[in-house]
Chain A
Amino acid sequence: MFKYQIVIPSLILIVWLLLAILGPWLPLNPNYITLVDILKPPSLLEWLGYDDLGRPVLDRLIMGAGTSFFVAFWVISLSLTIGTLIGTISGWAGGYIDLIIVRIMDIFLAFPGILLAIALSGILGPGIENVVFALSIVGWVGFARLTRAQTLSIKNREHVLAAIALGASVPRILYYHILPLLMAPLLIEATFGIAGVVVAEAGLSFLGLGVQPPAASWGNMIKDGTGYMLIAPHLVLFPGLALFLVVLSVNMLGDKLRDRLDVKS
């Protein structure tokens, strides 16, 4: 049977990945202004038309793919590393260390979703590095909470007790005996995390707090397009569609992965 629920989203994500990585080497002119082409609708030759400044939407869309991929990659890598480290230490150490870390996590979880990221990137000023920083500050908590809970349940299993009895060092136990068992839930959390970060990056750029012009993000493309919706709906339609397809694909694969690895959400 053709597993379209896996194949189609995988293809979409591969295209996203390839465009993001190969984008800088493709013959693109994302910032080249052609005044006569301002707001020109899509046609057979110019697939996605031109924006309000006369720049090719397709080229900017590919540049935006690079932005979202860059942010997603760094935010997930940073949050995953920091969160896993803090979470396993918290779960393993217990006692006061655990108590303090849990309280700190509670405080970070008390800020609604993207709000802290909005405040941080608003105060730090726009720019892609600040977006990565702001979203990582928000993102590590999810990983930390997950790994702490898992470590708590794993640390009393026989194989860990055996390792302790054999005199293995704590880093060794955490790395060889606990971390491998965290991989499945972490993989799923990271997958859904990608979807969240891609939307959050575009959201920040939509609010004018993300990457700055002339750099392209799907978020600021949507924002710029909203002023021309009646005469040039393609400006909002295409970046939104790209964003939607990537997020949808990540979510679909995440669902499949969760079923496959049989981890409770």
Chain B
Amino acid sequence: MFSFFLSRLISVLVVILGVITVVFLLIHLVPGDPVQAMLGETATPTDLEALRETLGLNQPLMTQWWLYITGLLQGDLGQSLYSKEPIIDILMARFPATLELATAGLFVAILIALPLGSIAALRKDSIYDNSAMIFSLLGVSIPNFWLGPMLILLFSLILGWFPVSGQDGLLSLVLPAITLGTALSAILARMVRATLLEVLNEDYIRTARAKGLRESAIVIHHALRNASLPIMTVLGLQLGTLLGGAVITEIIFAWPGIGQLTIESIQRRDYPVVQACILLISLSYVLVNTFTDLVYGWLDPRVRYSV
């Protein structure tokens, strides 16, 4: 168990270091002089030099990298060029909204996928199965930046059930959550179906049937429970899609989270904030995945012995 944790920990640290390095290098991809790009054409040479000094861009690359990493470790992400506030404060103000949206999206996805996938597996090749798979195909094919506006058109503008945009109570969360969760629910429903079909062929299900257990007990206690682990893993991996989708969903619904902050900062050429946003979302994704991985290893000994 210990060696499993240790090996996972080391590879995660390598990945985190790599992610930080890629994000650090992003600013050097700005075409031409990044400082000129950030301050615009009207900046004086003194201003340019001052910003170069603040961002450490006049130092050798390795020194800059080292300063970036040590700064991160102390929770220092620098200052926003636009609002002059410490970036860490801006992130902390915006992150809860993204977390709320992502959680709600995940909730919608599970709420749709679990019953849909289960029914499809239990009634394989029936009309339920076919409808569920058609839903799944449509769900993965519909872009969220089209689904969102269409939902707004129908449910906000025509029917008036939900607010058009903004974050204001539970009602305002419904449409963004559906927009974000639909694609994931489609992928997840397929996964639930496939895993459940596999599990239902196992010997212990036959044993449970032979014991005379009710079908509902077999499905809930034996089949779904064993199917939940692989489903969890897929869920962890798909969280990246969810977080990436959150950026677009936030723009559609003017949801004041990290995604909106990213796009705003790109438009303002506030690159340090862009870097920080990308870093925050990517690191959350890495950490959640590591956590799922470890829990999986803890719950299922087969996983940790195979490492």
Contact = CB atoms under 8 A, between A and B. Distances in A.
A, B in one complex: yes
A226 interface: yes
Contact of A110 (B15, B137, B145, B146): B15
Interface in B263-284: 263, 266-267, 271, 274-275, 278, 281-282
Interface string B8-24: 00010011101101110
A229 B148 CA distance: 12
Interface string B137-165: 11011110110011011000100000000
Nearest to A103: B14
A229 B152 contact: yes
Nearest to B183: A199
Interface string B238-255: 011111110110011000
Interface stretch (B25-33, B47-55, B87-95): B25-33
A255 B153 CA distance: 32
B30 A123 contact: yes
B15 A115 contact: no
A47 interface: no
B18 A107 contact: yes
Tell me what chain A mostly uses at the interface: helix, strand, loop, or mixed.
helix
B156 to A, nearest CB: 9
A222 B145 CA distance: 8
Contacts of A123: 26-27, 29-30, 266, 271, 274
Contacts of B81: none
B150 A107 contact: no
B248 A203 contact: yes
Given A113-B244, A208-B267, A229-B149, A107 B22 contact: yes
Contacts of A125: 31
B146 A240 contact: yes
B293 to A, nearest CB: 12
Contact of A112 (B23, B152, B244, B271): B244
Interface string A112-145: 1111101110111100000000000000000000
B152 to A, nearest CB: 7
Nearest to B147: A240
A188 B149 CA distance: 31
A83 B141 CA distance: 25
Nearest to A102: B11
A110 B138 contact: no
Contact of B18 (A106, A122, A225): A106
A4 to B, nearest CB: 13
A112 B243 contact: yes
A237 B248 CA distance: 18
Contacts of A199: 143
Interface string A187-229: 0000000010001001100111100000000010011011001
Interface residues of B, number: 50
A237 B16 CA distance: 41
A247 B29 CA distance: 31
Contacts of B142: 244, 247
B180 to A, nearest CB: 12
Interface string B109-132: 000000000000000000000000
A233 B153 contact: yes
A249 to B, nearest CB: 9
A137 B222 CA distance: 43
A225 to B, nearest CB: 8
Contacts of A18: none
B150 A110 contact: no
Interface string A31-53: 00000000000000000000000
A122 B266 contact: yes
B140 A251 contact: yes
B69 interface: no
A152 interface: no
A219 B252 CA distance: 12
B205 interface: no
A105 B136 CA distance: 29
B247 A236 contact: no
29 contacts: A103-B14, A106-B14, A106-B15, A107-B22, A108-B22, A110-B16, A110-B285, A111-B240, A112-B242, A113-B240, A115-B240, A115-B244, A115-B247, A115-B278, A115-B281, A118-B266, A123-B26, A195-B141, A199-B143, A202-B143, A203-B145, A207-B263, A208-B263, A230-B153, A237-B150, A240-B143, A244-B141, A244-B146, A251-B141
Report, nearest first, the 6 A-B pairs whose CB atoms are least far apart. A107-B18, A113-B244, A112-B240, A240-B146, A122-B266, A248-B141
